[in-house]
Chain A
Amino acid sequence: MLLIDCPFCGAHAEIEFRYAGEADLARPSAAAGDGAWIEFLYFRRNPMGLHAERWRHTHGCGRFFNALRDTVSDRFVATYKPGEAPPAAAAAADHDR
Chain B
Amino acid sequence: MISLMTFGLSNLNLDIGDYCRDETFSLMDVALDQGFSVEETTCIANVFYAECEGYDIGNSYADCLD
- Mutual binders A and B: no
Query: Which A residues form the contact surface with B (CB < 8 A)?
Result: none
